[in-house]
């Protein structure tokens, strides 16, 4: 769920906890980086950015690969933050994409300038801009990628999942500058930086960088100190737990970095969100409600680290193939987080967390789970993915006495780095020796069910996941 509103019994303020998570949604266009790749320079000048494109060739339309919708409004984010400065060029929304074109119908000029007023908004399955309270800004490196189209109409036909299409475009060559000093990338300051196909964040402005054993932090200087302390204390233990169970993650030996932005003590708000990239977890906190330590925030921030940290394995060591297979990585990361948090804190209520997965999946699986993203129901990937993972874990327990990590470990060894739906489902059949399980999972993925509880109950029954039926509802024991 992007921003579930948790009822808070003690206070009247709404508690917003965005678990917005972009991970594994990494289209890998096959187009090689050529001399024709656009050259982009991004320069921070105080509270705004200047973004200059220099295109190496003519195109009638350039479309932005990252054209996600804002999670709250379901409106495109870029037209609200970017203003075209070059005369005769307009930006507009066509289909799933923000595009630019010439007003005269000819090719887009080779040089186009934008003025950007960065804003921190939660995006649907895409990496958001991070704003720091001191004016620093962190941008996803691949936010500037574009592809060419023959006409504005052609943009209407491009599907939202770019993994499924061949694009005339690829990574831009981006040079990052900050008028006030060096930029921060991979935990290090540099006077100038050029990125191409790296997936990370570049931070323009001041932050508190703390190198550490097993984890480095890049933290907004005004973040309430207890949050930073908690992250530095807790995150390395989660990482070690996963390492013990699954081995080192595939994405290299660099020390992981947690980058945390603080959006200020907004009244009547308690908000946390973020996402994960190779070797980097980004988080953003906001609201009066997180100024002082509270058990609920503590648990949510731990949950967040558990889930996002799990993506270094399930999401990066292996990724999914298509966006409608996000249940593999999101639900899988959720169950990893539940098991990790329980092992690190005996008081953690794993059953309650898993019950909410079952409940949400029950609500959302009336319609095809695989297509949930297109409906804006990304929560289905987490909830139903966790339900499927629970069944797989049950099958593993029946077979070997093992758990979710034992089911997962062999699946992380994929030569192509992709854990496909087929590979996941085949493993379920191999471990359970019961092909009917796969049939039920596929039914929820592709068709949904009039009564999802009945299907979930059947899955749990055959895999030994303890539950009872209460008024037609699956209640975990
Ligand atoms: Zn995730």
Q: What's the pLDDT tens digit per position in 338-351?
A: 999 999 999 999 99
Kindly state whether residue 26 falls inside one of the protein's structural domains: no
Task: Supply the CATH number for residue 414's domain.
Answer: 1.10.390.10
* Domain stop point among 183, 204, 239: 183
Coarse DSSP helix, strand, coil percentages of the chain, rounded to the nearest 5 percent: 35, 25, 40
Residue 84: inside a domain: yes
Classify burial at 355, counting beta carbons within 10 Å of its beta carbon; exposed 0-12, middle 13-18, buried 19 or more: middle
Of 354, 379, 356, nearest in space to 367 by CA: 379
Give the Cα separation of 261 and 476 in Å (integer). Answer: 37
Range of the domain at 89: 39-119+144-183
How many domains are contained in the chain? 2
Structural domain contains residue 397: yes
Q: Is residue 3's pLDDT more than 50?
A: no
92 within some domain: yes
Name residues with Cβ closer than 5 Å to ligand 1, which is an ion. Answer: 21, 23, 330, 333
Q: Mean pLDDT, to the nearest integer, of 179-187? A: 91
Asked if residue 324 and residue 470 are part of one domain, the reply reads: yes
Structure tokens of 89?
Answer: 């060029």
In a domain, 390, yes or no: yes
Helix or strand run (H / E) with residue 303: helix 295-310
Q: Which two tokens stand for residue 280?
A: 């980097």
Residue 23 alpha carbon to ligand 1 centre in Å:
5
Most confident residue range from 79-83, 249-253, 313-317:
79-83
Does residue 265 sit within a domain?
no
Q: Which of 28-32, 375-379, 456-460 has the lowest mean pLDDT?
A: 28-32
**What number of other Cβ atoms are within 10 A of residue 341's Cβ?**
23
Instruction: Answer yes or no: are the C-beta atoms of 218 and 257 closer than 8 Å.
Output: yes
Locate 88 and state its tokens: 């005769």
Partners of 219 in the β-ladder: 208, 260
71 is a domain residue: yes
Q: How far is the CA of 60 from the centre of ligand 1 (A)?
A: 36
Answer whether residue 241 is part of any domain.
Answer: no
Measure 225 CA to ligand 1 centroid, in angstroms. Answer: 25
Which of residues 183, 212, 230 is at a domain's end? 183
- Whole-number Å distance, alpha carbon 280 to ligand 1 midpoint, is 13
Residue 328 alpha carbon to ligand 1 centre in Å:
10
Gap from CA of 273 to ligand 1 centroid (Å): 11
Q: What percent of the chain has pLDDT over 90?
A: 70
Residue appearing with tokens 């959302």:
364
pLDDT of residue 251: 56
Centroid of ligand 1 to alpha carbon of 304 (angstroms): 9
Ligand 1 centre distance from Cα of residue 117 (Å): 27
Last residue of a domain, one of 163, 183, 203: 183
């Amino acid at each position: 769920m992007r921003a579930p509103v948790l009822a808070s019994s003690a206070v009247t303020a709404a508690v917003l906890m965005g678990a917005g998570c972009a991970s594994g949604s990494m289209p890998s266009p096959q187009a090689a980086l050529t001399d024709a790749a656009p050259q982009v320079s991004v320069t921070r000048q105080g509270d705004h950015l200047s973004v200059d494109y220099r295109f190496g060739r003519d195109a009638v339309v350039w479309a932005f690969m990252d054209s996600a919708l804002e999670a709250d409004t379901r409106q495109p984010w870029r037209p609200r933050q970017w203003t075209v400065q070059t005369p005769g060029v307009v930006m507009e929304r066509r289909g799933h994409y923000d595009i630019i074109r010439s007003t005269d119908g000819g090719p887009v000029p080779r040089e186009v300038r934008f003025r950007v007023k960065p804003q921190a908004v939660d995006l649907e399955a895409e990496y958001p801009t991070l704003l720091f309270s001191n004016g620093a800004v962190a941008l996803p490196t691949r936010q500037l990628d574009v592809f060419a189209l023959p006409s504005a109409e052609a943009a209407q036909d491009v599907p939202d999942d770019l993994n499924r299409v061949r694009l005339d475009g690829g990574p831009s060559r981006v040079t990052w500058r900050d008028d006030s000093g060096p930029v921060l990338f991979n935990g290090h300051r540099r006077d100038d930086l050029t990125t191409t196909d790296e997936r990370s964040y570049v931070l323009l402005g001041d932050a508190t960088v703390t190198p550490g054993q097993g984890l480095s932090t890049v933290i907004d200087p005004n973040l309430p100190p207890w949050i930073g302390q908690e992250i530095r204390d807790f995150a390395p233990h989660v990482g070690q737990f996963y390492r013990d169970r699954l081995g080192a993650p595939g994405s290299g030996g660099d020390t992981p970095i947690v980058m945390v932005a603080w959006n200020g003590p907004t009244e009547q708000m308690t908000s946390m969100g973020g996402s994960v990239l190779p070797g980097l977890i980004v988080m953003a906190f906001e609201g009066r409600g997180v100024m002082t330590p509270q058990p609920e925030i503590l648990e949510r921030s731990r949950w967040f680290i558990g889930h996002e940290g799990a993506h270094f394995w399930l999401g990066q060591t292996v990724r999914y193939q298509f966006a409608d297979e996000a249940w593999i990585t999101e639900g899988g990361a959720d169950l990893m987080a539940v098991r990790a948090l329980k092992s690190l804190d005996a008081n953690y209520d794993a059953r309650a967390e898993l019950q909410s997965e079952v409940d949400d999946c029950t609500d959302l699986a009336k319609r095809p789970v695989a297509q949930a993203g297109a409906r804006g129901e990304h929560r289905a990937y987490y909830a139903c993915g966790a339900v499927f993972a629970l069944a797989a874990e049950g099958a593993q327990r029946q077979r070997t006495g093992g758990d979710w990590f034992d089911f997962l470990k062999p699946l992380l060894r994929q030569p192509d780095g992709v854990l496909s739906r087929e590979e996941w489902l085949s493993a379920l059949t191999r471990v359970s020796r019961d092909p009917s399980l796969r049939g039920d999972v596929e039914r929820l993925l592709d068709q949904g069910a009039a009564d999802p509880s009945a299907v979930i109950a059947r899955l749990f029954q055959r895999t030994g996941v303890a539950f009872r039926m209460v008024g037609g509802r699956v209640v975990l024991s």
